[in-house]
């Protein structure tokens, strides 16, 4: 019986490199696991408050559906009924703030809740506006100034709480025959003027807080597809961002795909926040005898 050694050589030339690559890949993956942090575990000791309306509710639905992973469990989600309630570590507490279409009411309500006791039992706190808070006539710069002034006051009064800023969510832009007919009739196309005001507000947020204070850029995530491309439309020669259509079923609220993608981003963002620096209490002024 004659054994074909040339065949064995050919097989070795093909198989051995592949086996070597697989072994190296496995070694790299194994080596990366112990060194990589489990960011969600950091949330087990944090007390977080989130003020919101409907899109915020979508985000929380996404958090509840996040699968368990080696990064650790997502925090418990509870609804706060009173600003005097105590928030336990490992909790993402939330509540409705203000009224839709009245963004100033959301600023005032969040500030009231923080000052009424909630800041004392939370390490991280934030709220977000809704897409419906902006229309084509919104004075985004004036709204931002009210927001900025409120946050400056909160940071001064509650130095042991980390306040996070969130960009305003976007909507999709109406396209197709209906949009063409509206343009022909001189009627506004849904999403075009509104997203301009949202993005005007968001750019002020980025310029003021980007790289300086915690900023969760919800709008940028909503306008970025899974492949990294950006959803935009053109108005008067300028490109403006819009929500990726695949993230919503009604053009504004997040569907399951959008919820899961943005919820994961939010959890990673919160987990990677630096631990709040505890400020020493201000000593009481002694009365002069």
Question: Bridge partners of 166?
Answer: 216
pLDDT, residue 7, reads 41
Whole-number Å distance between alpha carbons of 255 and 65: 12
pLDDT, residue 40, reads 77
pLDDT, residue 67, reads 79
Q: Is 191 left (phi over 0), alpha (psi -120 to 50) or beta?
A: left
pLDDT, residue 246, reads 96
Q: Which CATH superfamily is domain 38-271 in?
A: SGNH hydrolase (3.40.50.1110)
pTM of structure: 0.80
User: Cα dist. 94→10, 32, 124, 141, 252 in Å?
Assistant: 64, 35, 12, 27, 21
pLDDT, residue 38, reads 45
Output the tens digit of pLDDT for each of the chain's 289 residues: 444 444 444 434 444 444 433 333 333 333 333 333 446 778 989 999 999 999 999 999 999 988 766 567 778 999 999 999 999 999 999 999 999 999 999 999 999 999 999 999 999 999 999 999 999 999 999 999 999 999 999 999 999 999 999 999 999 996 655 554 555 555 555 579 999 999 999 999 999 999 999 999 999 999 999 999 999 999 889 999 999 999 999 999 999 999 999 999 999 999 999 876 666 655 544 555 5
Tokens representing 249 are 């079923």
pLDDT, residue 288, reads 53
Question: Quick check: 16 and 48 in contact, CB under 8 A?
Answer: no
pLDDT, residue 41, reads 79
Read out DSSP for the chain? ----HHHHHHHHHHHHHHHHHHHHHHHHHHHHHHHS--GGGGGGG-EEEEEESHHHHHHHHHHHHPPP-TT-PPPEEEE-S-TTSPPPTTEEEEEE-SBTTBHHHHHHHHHHHHHTTGGGG-SEEEE---GGG--TT--HHHHHHHHHHHHHHHHHH-TTSEEPEEPPP------SHHHHHHHHHTPPPTTHHHHHHHHHHHHHHHHHHTTTS-EE-HHHHHTB-TTS-B-EEEETTEEEE---GGG-SSSSS--HHHHHHHHHHHHHHHHTSPPPPPPPPPPPPPPP-
Write down the domain spans for the chain: 38-271
Whole-number Å distance between alpha carbons of 142 and 151: 14
Measure CA 73 to chain center.
18
pLDDT, residue 73, reads 74
pLDDT, residue 10, reads 46
């Amino acid at each position: 019986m004659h054994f074909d050694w040339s065949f064995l050589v050919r097989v070795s030339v093909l198989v051995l490199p592949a086996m070597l690559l697989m072994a190296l890949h496995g070694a790299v993956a194994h080596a990366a696991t112990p060194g990589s942090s489990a960011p969600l575990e950091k949330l087990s000791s944090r007390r977080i408050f989130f003020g919101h309306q409907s899109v915020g509710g979508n985000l929380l639905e996404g958090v509840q559906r996040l699968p368990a992973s080696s990064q650790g469990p997502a925090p418990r989600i509870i609804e706060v009924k009173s600003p005097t309630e105590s928030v336990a570590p490992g909790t993402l507490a939330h509540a409705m703030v203000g009224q839709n279409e009245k963004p100033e009411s959301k600023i005032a309500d969040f500030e009231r809740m923080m000052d009424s006791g909630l800041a004392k039992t939370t390490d991280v706190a934030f709220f977000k506006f809704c897409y419906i808070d902006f229309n084509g006539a919104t004075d985004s710069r004036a709204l931002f100034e009210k927001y900025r002034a409120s946050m400056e006051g909160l940071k001064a009064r509650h130095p042991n709480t980390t306040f996070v800023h969130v960009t305003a969510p976007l909507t999709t832009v109406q396209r197709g025959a209906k949009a063409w007919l509206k343009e022909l009739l001189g009627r506004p196309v849904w999403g075009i003027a509104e997203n301009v005001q949202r993005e005007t507000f968001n750019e002020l947020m980025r310029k003021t807080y980007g790289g300086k204070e915690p900023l969760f850029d919800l709008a940028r995530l909503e306008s970025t597809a899974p492949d990294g491309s950006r959803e935009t439309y053109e108005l008067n020669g300028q490109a403006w961002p819009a929500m990726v259509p695949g993230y919503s079923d009604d053009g504004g609220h997040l569907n399951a795909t959008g919820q899961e993608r943005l919820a994961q981003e939010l959890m990673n963002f919160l987990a990677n926040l630096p631990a709040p620096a505890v400020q020493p209490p201000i000593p009481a002024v002694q009365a002069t005898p």
